[in-house]
Structures are given as C-alpha cells and as structure tokens.
C-alpha cells in the first residue's frame, strides 16, 4: 500500500476539492466521507445525489460562507469548526482547514482542504464543563448556606446583647460565626466568579 493511501485510510476525515459556488460543489473527495460520515463519494461529487451544504447543519452554512468569503478576499487560508449531519442523522463536529487555488492570471480555480472529525474532542470538553457546572451549582448552595449562617450569627449577637454580661461568651461565638461566614462567602464568590470566566 502506498504512503498516501495508508495515511488517508487512518485519517478521521477527508480531503476535498470543490467549486466556490453556493453549494461548494465537490470536484473530488477522498473516501473518508463515507468511512466517517456514511456518504458515498459518488453521491456528493458533482451534486449527483446531494450537495455538500445539504449535509452540513443548516445553521452553520452562513458562518462558512462568511469565513470562506473573508479568506478568499485576503487570499489566506481558513480554519473553522462546524457540524456535519451523519447519514444516520446525528451531528458530528468537524474542523476544516482550506484555501483557494488561483491560476497565473489571478482567477480563482477552486477551493481545497481537509475536514477532520473532532466530535470526541467536543465530548471531552462537554464532560469537563459538565463537572464545572455541577461544582458551580454546589457553590451556589454553599453561598445560600453561608447567608443563613450570617443570619444566625446576627440573631445570636442580639440574644447575647440581651443577656448582658452573662452572654459575653455567646457574643464572642457570634462574632466568630460572622467572621467565618464572611470569609467563606468571599472565597465561594471568588470560586463562582472564576467558574463564570472559564465558561
């Protein structure tokens, strides 16, 4: 097996060459489109059975048009993430790196590039952020508990004042409760703020 065939067979995606039209009409594609996404090459090349944009998540098509358009204007490559709908219906996140190819007269001939499945990466990110969301909810619960502790400390201080000298020890305890609640609340708020920035 030759080098290119061997490497492309391991690739979780495909290479393409297409026209710069509204459907990104495919001129050529490697067989990763079928292996990874379930669509035979001959269904998409030349729009024989479906267009490339028809297998994209429809909300991502305008973004692609914008990113590709800007890159062609500046004659630079583009990299973007979007979703392709697998033949069985579920959406798969991909990253595409591509660029235009021009002739010697400066006329745009076609677009070409690579499209790689990054769904597993998105799943790992989602798992990590779900853990952060659980922690954030627990932080909110802690903040509620600390507010209640502060209220108890205030009430304890009032009762200690009413008891006069007999309540002096209780007053010290109430002051310590307030101090603990305040410092803990500051720490919890800092954690909550850091989590929101990370999101």
Per-residue pLDDT of the chain (199 residues; tens, 9 = 90+): 677 777 777 788 999 999 999 999 999 999 999 999 999 999 999 999 999 999 999 999 999 999 999 999 999 999 999 999 999 999 999 999 999 999 999 999 999 999 999 886 656 655 665 555 555 556 666 656 656 556 665 665 565 566 555 545 555 555 666 666 666 666 556 655 655 655 5
Identify each DSSP E strand in the chain by its residue range.
Answer: 13-18, 26-29, 78-85, 91-102, 108-117
Torsion angles phi and psi, residue 155, rounded to 5: -60, -40
pLDDT at 35: 92
Closest listed residue to residue 56, CA positions, set 26, 77, 101, 78 = 26
Helix axes 168-198 and 119-163, enclosed angle (nearest 10)? 160
Edge-first strand order for the sheet with 91-102 is: 26-29, 13-18, 108-117, 91-102, 78-85
Q: Say if pTM beats, i.e. exceeds, 0.85.
A: no
Token pair, residue 35, equals 């292996």
Residues 71, 77: Cα–Cα separation, whole Å: 6
SS3 99: strand
Closest listed residue to residue 65, CA positions, set 106, 118, 20 = 20
Within a 13 Å sphere around the CA of 111, how many CA atoms are in the beta-carbon half? 26
Token pair, residue 169, equals 């020890």
pLDDT at 131: 57
């Amino acid at each position: 097996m030759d080098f290119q065939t061997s490497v492309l067979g391991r690739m979780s995606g495909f290479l393409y060459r297409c026209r710069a039209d509204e459907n990104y009409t495919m001129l050529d594609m490697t067989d990763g489109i079928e292996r990874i996404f379930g669509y035979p090459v001959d269904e998409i090349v030349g729009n024989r059975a479906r267009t490339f944009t028809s297998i994209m998540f429809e909300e991502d098509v305008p973004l692609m048009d914008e990113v590709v358009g800007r890159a062609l204007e500046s004659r630079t490559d583009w990299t973007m993430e979007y979703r392709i709908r697998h033949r069985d219906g579920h959406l798969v996140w991909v990253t595409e790196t591509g660029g235009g190819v021009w002739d010697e007269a400066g006329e745009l001939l076609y677009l070409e590039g690579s499209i790689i499945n990054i769904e597993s990466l998105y799943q790992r990110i989602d798992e990590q952020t779900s853990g952060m969301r659980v922690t954030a909810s627990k932080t909110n619960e802690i903040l509620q508990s600390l507010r209640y502790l502060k209220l108890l400390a205030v009430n304890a201080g009032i009762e200690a004042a009413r008891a006069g000298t007999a309540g002096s020890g209780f007053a010290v305890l109430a002051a310590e409760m307030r101090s603990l609640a305040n410092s803990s609340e500051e720490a919890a708020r800092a954690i909550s703020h850091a989590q929101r920035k990370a999101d």
